[in-house]
Structure 1
Amino acid sequence: MGYTKPFLFCFLFVLLFVFTNFISYTQTLDENRAGSWLVISGNNKIHERWSIPTVGILRHHDILEQYEFAFFRTGVSYQLNPSSTFTTGVAYLSSKNYTGSEEFKNATQFWVYEEYTLKMNAFSHRWRLETRWKKNTESLHINNRVRYRLLYIKPLSKNTYIKSFNEIFLNLERPLFNQNRAYIGLGHILTPSIKLDIGYLKNHFKTSDHDVIRMGVTFKTDFTKKDIAQLTATHSKQ
């Protein structure tokens, strides 16, 4: 019974958004329809202060239709103190031309990034520097940008919470503005190591914007625990 209200709220939230977006689309008949992001992210603790973050994203231009890109990011994190963490790593993105137009090319990207995260009660600050090698069928372009995200999480009950963030992206070259992402949604703690969240994300670009339904799964694993370490050692001997 504890799961009923949060998931009913999620369902009604998504239903209302899809309905209003459908009405807007039938009235305007343009390409500015809602997309979807499926996000799975986790933190894998391997030492008292060291961990391996992993993030995977599958993005569609329309809700679960017209595949746009797949993204994977990983690295290594070092916990400086209970409230701050430094991370460095790599990422790979593969995008597809969903429009069918020759104006847009399929492309791949390889990133190297460094980030610092600072948690302060319900708020979390994240600063990131990215160097991206973007390649399509014709050329290779290198882009450097910085990102700042302010995240806010407010518990509603023991297992349910509101999650909201705003993240701005700035190029270290002209044009300065790259994009901005604003998100608000509802999260639910399934177990101490697994969380689900769903909500609405507005993605602003210089000359356009995109509405997104964002669905996420967050997990934690701790390989420093004795039971997991023993299980890993047993499998390595087989």
Structure 2
Amino acid sequence: MKSQAEVTMGLATHSGSGSRRSGSRTAKDTVLCTLAHAYAVTDCTLTLDDDANLGNRLFGSSDDNFKVRVGALSSFTASQQRELFEVLQQNMAPFYGAHSWKTKMARQKKKESKQTDARFAAVFDTQHANDEKLAAFMQFRFVEEEGEPVVYIYELQVQANYQTQGLGKKLVALAEQQGNRANQALTSAPPLTKVMLTVHKSNERARAFYRRLGFDVDDISPAKSDAEGDDAGYYDYEILSKPFS
């Protein structure tokens, strides 16, 4: 069993040669319909909303220090993309180890970020002396996990000098908001069931942060799914989730 953060899964279009389908194929198609719908709703609402308005919704109209931009990686400038990866490296390389990061993980993270179904929400500090400065970002997707349509947070990273200002909490709220919007617009397809993410066991600060936001260990996390097997202690991560109300 691998978590969604380990396996890149894009949206796919299914076509059949006949009218007969198995129950599992039909269930798969309905989940894919939900995911496609969620992307359509999210991309439409975010396209219609400029950066300032989105920032006001998240931070309040009285705070104009931050601007939020959401889109695929290609919608950000080259310098902004470099900032994204610099923050990612600064925060996560210590958890993977220098050798693993240089030889494997940096390349894997960049590949994941360029997938067509990856969406980034980036918070920029507009009060920076020279130019807008990246303060925090989130990478999220709408994916299928164990047969259920979910919002999966691939990355949630905050610059060291912007931590404890509530930026991470606001970005998680944005992921939940987009999932709820998609669910409200659904008619026949099954709704998105929860927000999911993967966190290193050694990252106690992050684990405590997510617990405060209402996340709990998901049933597919190795701590639960392999509880009676020999591999539970092998994994260095947990899969957390928070159901939509």
TM-score range, shorter chain: under 0.3
Structure ID, larger Rg? 1
Q: Relative contact order (C-alpha < 8 Å, sep 6+): which is higher?
A: 2
